[in-house]
Structures are given as C-alpha cells and as structure tokens.
C-alpha cells in the first residue's frame, strides 16, 4: 500500500511539475480567454502612431530589442528613474536615442480599459515590434505571449550588453551568442537598419575616414548633413534608398560599401558574415523569413513567467 501511495505521489508530482512548466512557456494564445481583443487594441494604437510618424516603426522595433538584451524581455527598459531604480533609459546606448515610450504607454492605456491588470508591458513591446514591421512592409510573425514585467532595471547591463555602432564583427557575434542568438540571427536582425535614422556623431568618423570600406560618393553625400564638428544630433537615414520600408535593400547597400554605421559595414568586410549578406541581398524572401524567426527567438530571451514579475498598470512605474 505504501509503495503504491508513493508511486501515486511521484506521478502526481511529475504531472504538477509538467503543468507548471507548461504554464511557464510563452504561447500565442495566452490572452485568448482573459483579453481576447488585446492584439487588435495594440495594433490600432501602433498603426495610429506610425501613420503620424513612419520613423516610429524603427524606434519600436529597437525598443523591443534594447529591452530584451538587458535582463531579458521584461519591459525593464520602460521603467523611469526613481530613488530606488537607476533607469536603463539613461544608459549610454539609450540616452537621447531610444524613443517610443509614449506609444507603448498609449497602447497599454487602451488595453487597460478593457482588460485591467492582464496584459504585460513586455508583451505589448513584443506585439508592437511585430506590428511595426508589418506596417512598413516587413514580415509578420506569430508573437508568443505570457511575459511578465520586471520590478527592477539594470543601468549597468544596459551599458555592457547592448551592441554598439563601433563594434567589430567578433564582438557583435559574441554579444548575440551570449543571448542565445546565432550569427545568422545577428545578421538578419541587423536588417532592421533598413529603416530608421542615426545621429551624426555615430557615423562621423566613418564618413571622414577616407577608408577603403566606404563608397566615396556615399561619404560625400552624408558629409553635407554631418560636418566634422558640431551638429552631433543631425539625423541621416540608415538606408538612403528605401528609408521607410523594411526590406533587403540594407544588404544591397552593404555590398556597395554604403553601410552608414561601422557596425553595419563590418557585416560585409571579408569576414564570416559576407555570405549571409550576399544571400539576403539576393533574396528578399530569405531575409524576411530569417528576420521573423530571429525576432521570435529574441522575444524568448529570459522572459519572466508564471509567478515571477508583475503586470504593471503603467509601463514606466512599478505598481
């Protein structure tokens, strides 16, 4: 009798554990019962924002990326500075360049009206990035949901874990590998630079270098809006040809030595990623497919699930 009871307890424990693990997995149907209109509500908000300013699509994709690379996809980036929180917003890779916080707050506010306390800011970020992609001609994908929001931020990790515009190829590859992303994922995700803009001080050295890795005419064009001194905040499109369309033109630019940032051009500089750049430049379908797959993988980085984390009422503050 005792051994049979022990067996029953063991089987029950295994079932319970497997159920808990199941609940800890992200799922595309996570809100189907608790907030069935969540995705439609978010999409409406994002569509309005991008119709007002097309560049916002790039900013929202970047917001999700900069969140996931620090502590995982937990909306820690959205937290404002408080006496107990040193915000990630003030870290060097984010300061004065990461934007779109108000758009996420708007979407959250709309979702809260119908489903208070149900949908996390981390999930809204993930959905917003997908919607932003589709609204500027990029691929769509099925977003996995069920992330919860952190109660902490890490200014320190934001300073160290985010890739930089001057990083060599080896550092880019290792930085993404540390987050469970392959070299191919890294190149595909870099294709998000098919949209958006960069500030002058981030590409000044490159356009005045007279280097062999930059097209002379391209450098000359870019110098017009980026003098050797001052005007640090002047913006230039990362892709001159189709700056508001998420497409594979970014990779065609790299083949012509017209990558705006050093970290862009380094993907096509005689190294291990040249073949991937060539493949994507020749095949819009391959790029779109790999970009979508890499975004799903990125959204899987260390999410808080189950009983971990909270559902923030306002994305910028802990309840």
Reported as a single tens digit per residue, the pLDDT across 156-191 is 999 999 999 999 999 999 999 999 999 999 999 999
Region 108-131: mean pLDDT is 98
Helices then strands, counting H and E runs in the chain, come out as 14, 2
Strand-strand pairing, 235-237 and 197-199: antiparallel
Note the pTM of the prediction, 2 decimals: 0.91
- Whether 213 has a pLDDT exceeding 70, the answer reads yes
Sequence ranges of the binding site for Ca(2+): 67, 70, 72, 74, 76, 88, 239, 242, 247
Residue 21 has pLDDT above 90, yes or no: no
**% of the chain at pLDDT higher than 90:** 89
Helix (H) or strand (E) holding 41: helix 38-52
**Catalytic residue ranges:** 66
Q: Which candidate, 41, 59, 44, 43, places its Cα nearest to that of 118?
A: 41
Closest CA to 157 of 309, 312, 318, 301: 301
Q: Average pLDDT in the 73-99 region?
A: 96
Q: Binding site membership for substrate: which residues?
A: 163
């Amino acid at each position: 009798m005792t051994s049979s009871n022990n067996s029953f307890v063991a089987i029950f424990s295994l079932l319970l554990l497997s159920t808990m693990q199941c609940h800890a997995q992200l799922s595309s149907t996570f809100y189907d019962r608790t907030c069935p209109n969540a995705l439609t509500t978010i999409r409406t908000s994002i569509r309005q924002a991008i119709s007002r300013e097309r560049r916002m699509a790039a900013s929202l994709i970047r917001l999700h990326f900069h969140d996931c690379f620090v502590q995982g996809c937990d909306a820690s980036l959205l937290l404002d500075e408080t006496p107990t929180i040193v915000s990630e917003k003030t870290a060097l890779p984010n300061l004065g360049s990461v934007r779109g916080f108000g758009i996420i707050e708007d979407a959250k506010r709309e979702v809260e009206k119908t489903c208070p306390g149900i949908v996390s800011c981390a999930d809204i970020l993930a959905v917003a990035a997908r919607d932003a992609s589709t609204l500027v001609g990029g691929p769509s994908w099925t977003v996995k949901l069920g992330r919860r929001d952190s109660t902490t931020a890490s200014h320190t990790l934001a300073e160290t874990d985010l890739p930089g515009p001057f990083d060599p190829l080896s550092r880019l590859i290792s930085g993404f590998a540390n987050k469970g992303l392959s070299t191919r994922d890294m190149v595909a995700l870099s294709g998000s630079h098919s949209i958006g803009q960069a500030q002058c001080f981030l590409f000044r050295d490159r356009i005045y270098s007279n280097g062999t890795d930059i097209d002379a005419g391209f450098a000359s064009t870019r110098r017009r809006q980026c003098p050797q001194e001052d005007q640090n905040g002047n913006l230039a499109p990362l892709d001159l040809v189709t700056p508001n369309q998420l497409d594979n033109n970014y990779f065609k630019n790299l083949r012509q030595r017209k990558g705006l940032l050093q970290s862009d051009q380094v993907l096509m500089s005689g190294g291990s990623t040249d073949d991937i750049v060539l493949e994507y430049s020749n095949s819009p379908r391959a790029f779109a497919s790999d970009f979508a797959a890499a975004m799903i993988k990125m959204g899987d980085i260390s999410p808080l699930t189950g009983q971990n984390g909270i559902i923030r009422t306002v994305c910028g503050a802990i309840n």
